[in-house]
Structure 1
Amino acid sequence: MLSDQTIAIVKSTAPVLATHGETLTRHFYQRMFSHNPEVRPFFNAANQSAGLQQRALAGAICAYAANIDNLGALRDAVELIAQKHASLQIKPEHYPIVGENLLASIRDVLGEGATDEVIDAWAQAYGFLADILINREAQIYRDLASVDGGWEGFKAFEVIKKQRESDVITSFYLAPKDGAPLPHFKPGQYITLRLPTPDGQTTMRNYSLSDMPGQNWFRISVKREDGKGAKVPGGFVSNHLHKAIEPGAVVEVAPPCGEFFLDVTKASERPLVLLAAGVGITPILSILLATLETTPNRPILFVHGCLNERTQAFKETIDQLAQKYPNLTTHYRYSEHDAGAALQGENSSIGFIDQDLLDQLLPSHDGEFYFCGPQPFMVNVYHDLLDWDIPPAQIHFEFFGPRQALDTKPGATSRAA
């Protein structure tokens, strides 16, 4: 356990770190990639260029400093980090690399404020948190390897099918090269692909599983990103998959991970509300399919927001499910409806997924909410649910970006589908 003195020193640095957080984390990543280039493949170059990872780490450091005397408040954040680390195969030997570079960056950025006493306190605090994460990740690795069909590390998978879902989204069906059975993942989780890069290195990406558990394949549905405007071109992996990966290709896959999932073994009488925007439909569709399979009578509201019909994936699948299951209500929301095209049916409309729409579709405001999509959509839905006083235990989301971005309530004009 940390001493009272260490806790007091770390908490006292929280305001300073909040002020200099992103400067600190930018310095940290630059230093680490310079001194320890072997860890670079664990990080997304496009996210580095956009500053997403720097902001996310800055927020995590500030949250740890502010709550170091109440780590229970960080339980969900620790689980998210541990699951992400396990998906990328972060191991105990990587923690000293991060610790050394982080402490050096604190000393360099804070200057005279980084006394030996402050550095010693942060070294103890980092070591304490590292032990928590290492132990949790070890348990995750054991669990992943011990289930039927489970494994640890990366394993060769063959692309057995490639299917176009929309103008921008393509599905890839992956089966183990060795013919072994697949583990039963939790609907909403993701897998990690590791692919070679043109410079002879490797890069990794997480992709949500878009099919239901229990199949003889893993399905991922990937949006092709153009990466326009970025200093480091984004979308390398998505474009490589779309353009170069065909049936018969072999890719490396790590086991399913993630803390965002629906536990289908815990039945609930509340309506299930599934909200997706764009390619955020991938984990939401897996949750929908699993729920219909296991609890076919549970009331479900499914809402999918898209730019237009051409970019919308899985509409035919959803329509077929709605015809088969009377407990499933669906609605499609288009922000840029194709000119001259007629909306099909009463379950389509023009606009954004906003509180007015949700009021119309769910006037009772009762439900278990799962949502995933681009950041503006996520921020708006999150605050809409808070405005409805939905208990936190009924709000579940997969958010790709700095968690603190959810905390700022958006303006009325920042809606996004």
Structure 2
Amino acid sequence: MLDSRTIEIIKSTVPVLEVHGETITRTFYETMFRNHPELLNVFNHANQRQGKQPTALANAVYAAAANIDALERILPVVHGIAQKHRALGILPEHYPIVGENLLAAIKTVLGEAATDEIIEAWSKAYGVIADVFISVEAGMYEQTEQQPGGWRGFRRFVVDRKVQETAEVTSFYLLPEDGNAIASYEPGQYITIRVKPEGQEFTHLRHYSLSTAPGAGYYRITVKREDAGGDRPAGIVSTYLHQHVQEGDIIELSAPAGDFTLNQNLSTPVTLIGGGVGLTPLVSMLETLLQHSDREIVYIHAARSKEHHILKEHVAKLAANNSSRLKCYTVYESAADSERCDKSGYIDASWLSQVAPLESDFYFCGPVPFMRAINQALHSLNVPEANIHYEFFGPAGSLGSPSGSSPSSSSEE
């Protein structure tokens, strides 16, 4: 427990964090990786370069400071971050390293304004926050290992099949090398791959959504190759998977994780909206709904063009076999494909209200501008916050929605 004076000091720093939070977290990562380069084996280098990880951490630190007197308010955020930590293999011994370098970054950025009293208060607060994470993650590690087919850490899987879906998207079917059972998962969750491409100094870890319903006896991920463009370098892991990993090769996985999951305890309609490769967790949800419920389903896929339409034939077959309760719609950005889709251009509120029951539970995933547009459309249609669910591919960010919506995050590259 924190004393009242410490709580008072931490809350007094909230306005400072609003102004300097990202500078502090950026300095923190630079300092930590300089002092502990071995941690580059865990963190996503691309998210560091693009500034996504410092922003996400700044938001988490700000939330913790603002709610330091009632940390239970941010338990959903803690749980989502802890899911990623468990998937990456973050352990209790990592927390003192983070705390030491975070306090050093606060001192560096704020200078004389970071008095001894403020640093001491933040040291105490960080200890309490770290204990919360360690406790939550310990439970996750135990549950993951003890579940049927579960394991701790990373396990070797064989690439059983490699199927090209489009020119830039490939599905990988993964079986355990030891031939034993594999852990089940909630539709919408992801697995984490650990690879060390030739010529790379560090191992690289990436989260990839599982793109099929649980219970198949294998894991399937559907990966877009991220090519270089503008100032953006090619994706290290996605390029490696596409160009170098072949059928029969071994890759390492941690057990499924993530809190962007389908609520299977409802009877209301479900609307699934995917942009590009963002369809992956939604296809898992779609297959699960068709197998285990009688709920009305609307499935909407937005793609640049017909050539970029992922899993087109697979979803069309599902629709043909379940026409009484599954309605599928396609939106192509390219006007040249207007005769091959249900709408050309972009999804908007007017069109969405015509094809999807507004009492639906809405799940959506895709590029951030796409998700921002969907989120704004749903709010303009007065869809309740409780019915809006979305996931970021990467550190959790903001769609500019009112507080209360439920973003999750994975890290696909």
Q: TM-score, normalised by structure 2?
A: 0.93
Match of 1:383 among 360, 376, 386: 376
Q: Does 1:313 align with 2:306?
A: no
* Distance change (3 Å), C-alpha of 1:172 and 1:42: same
Q: Contact between 2:47 and 2:394, CA under 8 Å: does it hold in 1?
A: no
Per the TM alignment, residue 403 of structure 1 is displaced from its structure 2 partner at its CA by 4.0
Is the Cα contact below 8 Å between 2:375 and 2:401 reproduced in 1? Answer: no
Please give the residue correspondences for 1:18-417 in structure 2 after superposition, counting only pairs within 5 Å: 18-197=18-197, 198-230=199-231, 233-264=233-264, 266=265, 268-295=266-293, 297-325=294-322, 326-337=324-335, 339=336, 341=337, 343-344=339-340, 348-362=342-356, 364-401=357-394, 403-407=396-400
What's the secondary structure of 1:330's corresponding residue?
strand
Secondary structure in structure 1 of the residue aligned to 2:205:
strand
Provide the secondary structure at the position in 1 that maps to 2:133: helix
Give 1:229 shift.
Answer: 3.0
Deviations 1:39-81 (A, max 9, x none): 1121111111111111111111112111222323312211110
Structure 1 gaps of 5+ residues are 410-417
Q: Deviations over 1:141-181 (max 9, x none)?
A: 11111111110100100000000111211000000000011
Which whole-Å CA distance do the structure 2 matches of 1:149 and 1:124 have between them? 39
Q: Give the SS at the match of 2:69.
A: coil
> Conserved in 2, the CA contact under 8 Å of 1:59 and 1:402?
no
Q: Which moved more, 1:247-256 or 1:15-24?
A: 15-24
Alpha-carbon spacing, 1:388–1:6, altered in 2? closer, same or farther (3 Å): farther
Identity rate of aligned residues, in percent? 45
Code of the residue aligned with 2:289 in structure 1: it is T
With 154-163 and 6-15 compared, the bigger mean Cα shift is at: 6-15
Task: Indicate the SS of the match to 2:256.
Answer: strand
Distance (whole Å) between structure 1 residues aligned to residue 200 and residue 209 of structure 2? 27
Q: Once the two structures are superposed, what CA deviation does each residue of 1:217-241 show, in whole Å capped at 9, x if it has no partner?
A: 100000000132346x341110111
Aligned position for 1:415: none
In structure 2, how many angstroms separate the alpha carbons of the residues matched to 1:395 and 1:270? 13
Letter in 1 for 2:227: D
Q: Aligned-pair RMSD on alpha carbons? A: 1.5
Contact 2:338 2:344 in 1 (8 A): no
For 1:228 and 1:31, how far apart are their aligned partners in 2? 29
Q: Secondary structure at the match of 1:19?
A: helix
How many Å apart are 1:213 and its aligned residue? 0.3
Q: Secondary structure at the match of 1:216?
A: coil
What residue identity is the alignment partner of 2:312? K
Please say if residues 213 and 290 of structure 1, whose CA atoms lie closer than 8 Å, have aligned partners that are also in contact: yes
Amino acid at match of 1:155: R
| Alpha-carbon offset, residue 408 of structure 1 | 6.3
Structure 1 residue 8 corresponds to structure 2 residue 5: no
Q: In 1, Cα distance between the equivalents of 2:39 and 2:129?
A: 20
Note the C-alpha offset of 1:200. Answer: 3.6
Q: Distance in 2 between matches of 1:278 and 1:204?
A: 22
Query: CA shift at 1:404, angstroms?
Result: 4.7
Q: Deviations over 1:304-344 (max 9, x none)?
A: 1111111111111111111111200111111124x3x5623
Where 1:165 maps in the other structure, the secondary structure is strand
1: distance between equivalents of 2:6 and 2:230? Answer: 44
Q: Is the 8 A contact 2:42 2:204 kept in 1?
A: yes
Q: Any conservation in 1 of the 2:353–2:381 contact (CA below 8 Å)?
A: no
> Secondary structure of the residue that 1:366 maps to in structure 2?
coil
Partner of 1:414: none
Whichever residue aligns with residue 218 of structure 1, its letter is Y
Structure 2: how far apart are the matches of 1:60 and 1:263?
Answer: 25
Cα shift at 1:406: 1.5
Matches of 2:291 and 2:149 in 1, distance apart? Answer: 22
Q: CA deviation at 1:390?
A: 2.7
The CA distance in 2 between the partners of 1:342 and 1:280, in whole Å, is 22
Task: Give the CA deviation at 1:402.
Answer: 5.4
**Could you tell me which amino acid in structure 1 is paired with residue 216 of structure 2?**
Q
**Distance of 2:354 and 2:314 partners within structure 1:** 24
The one-letter amino acid paired with 2:364 is F
Q: CA deviation at 1:398?
A: 1.1
Question: Could you say what secondary structure the match of 2:32 adopts?
Answer: helix
Distance 1:403 1:204 in 2: 17
- Cα pair 1:50 1:230 within 8 Å, conserved: no
Displacement of 1:353 in angstroms is 1.9
> Deviation string for 1:59-113 (max 9, x for gaps)?
1111211122232331221111000101101000110110000000001100111
Is the CA contact (8 Å cut-off) linking 1:56 and 1:401 kept in structure 2?
no
